[in-house]
Amino acid sequence: MAEPSGTGRDPEVVSRFVEHFAAQLVEAGLPRMPARVFVALLASDAGVLTSAELGEQLRISPAAVSGAVRYLSQVRMVSREREPGSRRERYRVHGDQWYEALTNREAVLKRWEDALREGVGSLGADTPAGRRLAETLAFFEFVEKEVEAMMERWRAHREERFGRG
């Protein structure tokens, strides 16, 4: 995996990092190809690569890059932008990608909570299944509040440590 010249990095070391961290993300539930593309972007100095650059670095097809970027865009881990003066797209990872990804998960939690509330009502709060759903709902409501508070603390910590970004 080649990093643009002048970085002084060993491409093999970078490649090993990309594959190792991507494997960790796969274990956590991220699909393999989006994990590899995300980490390649994360490990690039500019945080921006074109489809051709990603394909070359990861030795994957343009279709694989396209599918991975589509997934990563949907979960707000990368954004697409036009290369100035060109029709080619490039893909960017932002410093707040974890915040965006977690915020997106928060919307998923809200939908799960709504479905669970409906389930409790449908199954009856006094049934074993209804109680189980109510406890699951309570857990997700708790997590949602904790994530919200944690993100507030993160924003303050990030600004203190890295300045406004």
In 3D space, the residue among 18, 27, 22, 31 whose CA is nearest the CA of residue 70 turns out to be 31
How far is residue 41's CA from residue 25's CA, in Å, rounded to a whole number? 14
How far is residue 111's CA from residue 129's CA, in Å, rounded to a whole number? 19
What are the tens digits of pLDDT across the range 103-119?
A: 667 777 889 999 999 99
Per-residue model confidence (pLDDT) at position 84 = 80
**List of residues 6+ apart from 12 with CB closer than 8 A:** 1
**List of residues 6+ apart from 147 with CB closer than 8 A:** 102, 105, 106, 109
Q: In the block, which residue shows the tokens 């924003």? A: 155
Per-residue model confidence (pLDDT) at position 4 = 46
State the pairing for strand pair 48-50/79-82. Answer: unpaired
Kindly report whether the global pTM for this prediction surpasses the value 0.75.
no
Per-residue model confidence (pLDDT) at position 2 = 44
State the pairing for strand pair 89-92/79-82. Answer: antiparallel
| Spatial contact of 35 and 43, defined as CB atoms under 8 Å apart | no
**Higher-confidence residue: 102 or 149?**
149
Percentage of the chain modeled with pLDDT above 90 = 64
For the CA atoms of 55, 58, 65, 91, the dihedral, rounded to the nearest 10 degrees, stands at -80
What are the tens digits of pLDDT across the range 6-57?
A: 467 888 999 999 999 999 999 999 999 999 999 999 999 999 999 999 999 9
* Helices marked H in the chain: 11-27, 32-43, 51-58, 62-74, 97-123, 128-162
In 3D space, the residue among 75, 4, 82 whose CA is nearest the CA of residue 45 turns out to be 4
Per-residue model confidence (pLDDT) at position 39 = 95
**Higher-confidence residue: 38 or 101?**
38
